[in-house]
Structure 1
Amino acid sequence: MNSNLDLSSKFRLFYKISLFLSILIFLNLLYGPLVRATGSGLACPDWPFCFGKIFPTFDFQIFMEVSHRYYSGFLGLILLGLTIWTFIDKILRKEFGIYLGLAVLLLISQINLGRLTVTLKLDPTSVNLHLLNAIAFFLVILTVSISAREKSEKENSKFIVSSSLFRKDNILLFILIIGIVVQIVLGGRVSSHYAGLACPDFPTCWGEWIPNHPLEIVKIQVFHRFGAYTVALLLAISLAFSIWKRFPITTRRLLQMSMYLLVAQIILGILNVFFGLPKLVTVLHTGFAVLLLTFSYLSLISRAVFLTSENERRPGN
């Protein structure tokens, strides 16, 4: 009995630490766009130091860039500690070893992409990959947190089995998640190409839905807008399908919350156009995009967890 209690306590502690790390990573996903919105992305012309120093002479932009690096380094230390604990503990290694190994690889990739972002002078490709890699890192740690919570409540149960995740009736949720990721990429292109104000009006662009404009940044902005309309359609269909098929209540609620986030995201996009990209609104626009992806991802995970649990309760399993 005592050993079971100890095991449950271990999973609860692991859950709390991984959840804390997930929150910190999400905040860093807001910090990065804030660095860019304040024009601080190249405040330090070198990497990993800033003007050859660990602690350079600070002005506002240098402080924004350097503090972002310090904060990211702090996250790396937490991940390192969590990974060491995982691999020296047989039970944790069995449950979370693959996740933490993947997280470490993503962190290494993120560090390298951060270096390229500076050395390639904010090259759009490296900037977008930097954001996508950070989101993948966040989702992996969030998955670890969810799994640890499940284990703390039901030690002997499986988190998710592939047959519960890769089902025909989950296809819409997968398409929705892919659609949101593509839209985030399109949003990254808008930011990295400075196309946020390429269309001065909304919902049309230069008075037309599909303007015949010679500037590439106008096309980038229009693609981003039509991406938003596509995501809205995919989310509406996914929500309707989940209600029709009587998906678990948690899944339906997460999709409903995703719809609210999408509405807020569209409003933020409109505010960006009419108020000339206010820094706070720009950062929130990125944050809500990540939250939309997170809640849609959690809707898929919640259904897979539910189906796995139902399968384990059936006689003979």
Structure 2
Amino acid sequence: MTMQSLLKMTLIFTLTVIIMGAYTRLEDAGLGCPDWPGCYGHLTVPDEAHELAKADQLFPGHEVEPQKAWLEMIHRYIAGTLGLLVLWILILCLRSRDYPNKLPIFISALIIFQALLGMWTVTMKLMPIVVMSHLLGGFTLISLLLLLYLRTRPLRIPGGDPQARRLAPLALLGLTVLVLQILLGGWTSSNYAALACTQLPVCEGDWFDNLQLAKAFSPFQGDHPSFEFGVLDYHTRMTIHVTHRFGALLTAALLLFLAFKLWHKSRSHILKQSAMLLVIVLALQIALGISNVVMHLPLGIAVAHNVGAALLLLTIVFINYALWRKA
């Protein structure tokens, strides 16, 4: 298998892990297994009588819910396979002078840290700051894998397209704002604030006078037996939700401006295609966000919203790579 084929497969696995992570979280299965890396002391979900008896002995008060437990374990199996793929990439890169070395080492370190965050997500009972960090780690991982893939294949833009390259600072700003918006989305999800507002375009009631900004974005929420289903009051969750909405407006406006400028300034076909792709993915993401509110967070659309964020990030990463690369 060539390096490019291996990286493509790893990118697909990473996106699958992101999808499964979102699905597991939205199905409230993040604590389907109360231990890590196994499930109730087993490598699979216990279902035999003696296994269930052992699970009850090890974790009294916890009832084995097979559907949630299997979701959690499938997510772990896929993540473990992804770790092996990253290790394979690292070995190939270290053994060849044709590939980068530093980036694969960093990616490998990141996936180890991701595993730790996965463990802490369970052991710290879905503490929002840990859940959000785990989500951000997944998005960072897929972005770095895309960068590594791009660095293993030549990207040729005829003439270098100097007019378009002047948009590099704007593209970097767009990437920064998008990452902050993804963080807001992760914070909204991990605090179960996605349905804190059910009206459009603004929140119902006297929302402006009830904003709790300091409390909403404090990483420390006290000691609780579990953070499942959230521990914040309504006004605090509403604040998080409203901030995510305003962040979406700002992000959309900036990325649309970037796409417009890129379309008009670039001469190369690949950059024009990137601008068009940015508009399409952004429009889809906005539609999914609105649908989540109007339709009260249906599972399929909520998962698709996470996927849309990943695709949007990959598009912006590619645009930045194309504009900032050495001519």
Q: Give the TM bin, normalised by the shorter chain.
A: 0.7 to 0.9
- Report the equivalent of 2:204: 206
- Report the equivalent of 2:85: 78
Alignment of 1:143 onto 2:147: yes
- Report the equivalent of 1:291: 311
Deviation at 1:244, TM superposition (A): 4.2
The answer to whether the 8 Å contact 1:110/1:130 transfers is yes
| Alpha-carbon distance in structure 1 between the residues aligned to 2:107 and 2:127 | 25
The answer to whether the 8 Å contact 2:196/2:237 transfers is yes
| Alpha-carbon distance in structure 2 between the residues aligned to 1:267 and 1:225 | 13
Letter in 2 for 1:119: T
| Alpha-carbon distance in structure 2 between the residues aligned to 1:43 and 1:233 | 39
- Report the equivalent of 2:52: none
The answer to whether the 8 Å contact 1:239/1:255 transfers is yes
- The partner residue of 2:193 within 195, 202, 205 is 195
| Alpha-carbon distance in structure 1 between the residues aligned to 2:45 and 2:93 | 36
Q: Where does structure 1 differ by over 6 angstroms across 4 or more consecutive aligned residues?
A: none
Alignment of 1:18 onto 2:15: no
More helix by share: 1
| Alpha-carbon distance in structure 1 between the residues aligned to 2:101 and 2:28 | 39
- The partner residue of 2:16 within 7, 27, 35 is 27
Alignment of 1:65 onto 2:72: yes
| Alpha-carbon distance in structure 2 between the residues aligned to 1:259 and 1:231 | 12
Alignment of 1:40 onto 2:29: yes
Alignment of 1:248 onto 2:268: yes
| Alpha-carbon distance in structure 2 between the residues aligned to 1:228 and 1:245 | 25
SS of residue paired to 1:200? coil
SS of residue paired to 1:212? helix
Deviation at 1:246, TM superposition (A): 2.8
Letter in 1 for 2:154: E
Deviation at 1:27, TM superposition (A): 1.6
Distance 1:298 1:224, change over 3 A: same
Deviation string for 1:234-286 (max 9, x for gaps)? 11221232244336332232122112111111111111112221111110001
Structure 1 spans left out of the alignment, 5+ residues: 1-11, 155-159, 312-317
Given the two structures, how large is their TM-score scaled by the length of structure 2?
Answer: 0.80
The answer to whether the 8 Å contact 2:27/2:68 transfers is yes
* Aligned pairs, number: 280
Deviation at 1:227, TM superposition (A): 0.6
Letter in 2 for 1:273: V
- Report the equivalent of 2:252: 232
Alignment of 1:100 onto 2:104: yes
The answer to whether the 8 Å contact 1:251/1:300 transfers is no
Q: Comparing 80-89 with 37-46, which one deviates more in the overlay? A: 80-89
Given the two structures, how large is their TM-score scaled by the length of structure 1?
Answer: 0.83
| Alpha-carbon distance in structure 2 between the residues aligned to 1:274 and 1:244 | 35
Letter in 1 for 2:291: L
The answer to whether the 8 Å contact 2:260/2:275 transfers is no
Letter in 1 for 2:90: T
- Report the equivalent of 1:55: 44
Distance 1:149 1:168, change over 3 A: closer
| Alpha-carbon distance in structure 2 between the residues aligned to 1:189 and 1:229 | 17
The answer to whether the 8 Å contact 1:16/1:145 transfers is no
SS of residue paired to 2:152? helix
SS of residue paired to 2:2? helix
The answer to whether the 8 Å contact 1:235/1:255 transfers is no
Deviation string for 1:119-157 (max 9, x for gaps)? 111111011110111111111111111222229xx9xxx
| Alpha-carbon distance in structure 2 between the residues aligned to 1:139 and 1:119 | 27
| Alpha-carbon distance in structure 1 between the residues aligned to 2:267 and 2:209 | 44
